[in-house]
């Protein structure tokens, strides 16, 4: 068991640290422009979604953008309605990380880290970005290396066949682990590697991806605990959006399986496409009815409870 946990935990830590290093590098490049960008480009839900998509793709963290948005709403710089477009965009932007991982660039992990370190030594501000990206690829390789030992130990077989509801088990696995590690990208990367290694089935991998989207809401909910009702609504909206998407897509997994299999025969790419399709469809379904969705969340989190 230790032989499985050690490389997995090491890979996970490297992945998460890499995400943080790269995000910090991008934030330092943007300096104070991040807040002004959000304030300027959120006047309509469409513009807000585009803004959220681009920022999340750049920062490689939907959680970071969501938590930052909650902070802006809590301070009154953004309204709850303005934040909805951003939240819809974060779900789309986070798929960029997964699509990058599907390109199988892990062989470039060490060269990227070396380039990043050299750039940092010579005081180039882009150094942390390349270092972090290299660490992400190295971390994914470490996490995926435990696929074969896990299969041999029988743990994966237990998850998939030890219950009458393997899809539900996959969903709960993705949701719980994502909530614990605070990274849906890491969870999806694990599913990609395990499916590519033949350890888990595609339906199980798809269920894990859908579960990870619900689990990623945990950080936002925690961040909103001590905030005003308007900020709490942002976290609840994120949860309702992703939980509603899960309820919609879980019964459609057989159809989704056929769609992603048509787009690509590569296992890792199929999982990446699953996340992309799921998030884009969910966001586009809610976007035209943002006003009604906002009223629903306002009804769920009324002001008077906190007065």
Q: What is the pLDDT of residues 58-117, one digit of tens each?
A: 776 777 778 778 877 887 778 888 888 888 998 898 888 778 777 766 667 788 888 888
Nearest partner of 209 among 136, 137, 277, 133, judged by Cα = 277
Q: What is the pLDDT of residues 275-303, one digit of tens each?
A: 899 999 999 999 888 889 889 998 888 87
Whole-number Cα distances in Å, 290 to 66, 241, 248, 303 = 17, 11, 18, 20
Average pLDDT score, the chain = 80
Q: What sign does the dihedral 212-218-220-221 (CA atoms) show?
A: positive
Residue 23 pLDDT class (50, 70, 90 cuts): low
Which pLDDT score, from 0 to 100, does residue 150 have? 57
Cα angle vertex 94, ends 127, 202, to 5°? 120
**What is d(CA 14, CA 288) in angstroms, rounded to the nearest whole number?**
39
Q: What is the pLDDT of residues 166-188, one digit of tens each?
A: 788 889 988 988 887 777 877 88
**What is d(CA 254, CA 281) in angstroms, rounded to the nearest whole number?**
16
Residue 42 pLDDT class (50, 70, 90 cuts): confident
């Amino acid at each position: 068991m230790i032989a499985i946990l050690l490389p997995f935990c090491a890979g996970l830590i490297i992945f998460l640290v890499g995400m943080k290093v790269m995000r910090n590098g991008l934030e330092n490049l943007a300096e104070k422009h991040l807040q002004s960008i959000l304030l300027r480009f959120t006047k309509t839900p469409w513009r807000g979604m585009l803004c959220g998509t681009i920022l999340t793709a750049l920062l490689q963290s939907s959680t970071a953008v969501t938590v930052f948005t909650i902070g802006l709403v809590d301070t009154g710089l953004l309204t709850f309605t303005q934040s909805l477009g951003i939240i819809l965009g974060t779900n789309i932007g986070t798929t960029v990380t997964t699509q990058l991982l599907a390109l199988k660039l892990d062989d470039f992990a060490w060269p990227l880290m070396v380039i990043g370190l050299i750039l940092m030594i010579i005081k180039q501000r882009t150094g942390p970005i390349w270092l972090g990206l290299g660490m992400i690829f190295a971390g994914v390789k470490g996490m995926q290396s435990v696929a074969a030992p896990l299969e041999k130990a029988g743990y994966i077989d237990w998850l998939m066949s030890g219950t009458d509801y393997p899809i539900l088990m996959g969903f709960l696995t993705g949701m719980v682990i994502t909530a614990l590690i605070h990274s849906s990208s890491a969870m999806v990367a694990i599913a990609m590697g395990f499916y590519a290694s033949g350890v888990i089935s595609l339906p199980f991998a798809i269920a894990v991806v859908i579960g990870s989207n619900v689990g990623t809401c945990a950080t936002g909910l925690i961040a909103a605990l001590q905030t005003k009702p308007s900020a709490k609504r942002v976290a609840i909206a994120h949860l309702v959006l992703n939980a509603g998407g899960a309820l919609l897509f879980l019964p459609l997994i057989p159809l989704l399986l056929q769609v992603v299999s048509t787009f690509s025969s590569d296992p890792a790419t199929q999982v990446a496409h699953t996340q992309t399709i799921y998030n884009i469809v969910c966001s586009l379904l809610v976007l035209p009815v943002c006003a009604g969705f906002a009223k629903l969340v306002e009804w769920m989190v009324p002001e008077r409870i906190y007065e």
